[in-house]
Amino acid sequence: MTSEVVEDTTDQDVFGGVDSHADTLHVAVISDNGGHLADAEFSTTAAGYAAALAFLNAHGQVRAIGVEGTSSYGAGFTRAARSHGHPVIEVNRPDRA
């Protein structure tokens, strides 16, 4: 097993991607050139939303967050992100057909 050391990214622009579910949020951090930086899962609670936003902010300057389900499972996170000044973009769920 190898371990990769990630460079300090606190000054770079990043984007968030959130896959929302009833009990959890899966949050990914993407660099401004499209590279995957990190991902983690959080609970759909006020504490989970705060932890998810802190996770995103720890990786750089958040420019926008794409959220699947801004009016359903992702509504709570969307409100929390917008209240912290983050632009949120609705991401459509893929067609399962």
Give pLDDT tens digits for 24-67. Answer: 999 999 999 999 999 999 999 999 999 999 999 999 999 999 99
Domain membership of residue 3 (yes or no) is no
**Total number of domains in the chain:** 1
Domain membership of residue 5 (yes or no) is no
Return the pLDDT at 45: 96
Residue 63 DSSP SS3: strand
pLDDT digits (tens, 9 = 90+) for 64-81: 999 998 889 999 999 999
Domain membership of residue 51 (yes or no) is yes
pTM: 0.85
Range of the domain at 20: 13-91
User: For 5, which DSSP code?
Assistant: P
* CATH number (domain holding residue 40): 3.30.420.40
Domain membership of residue 48 (yes or no) is yes
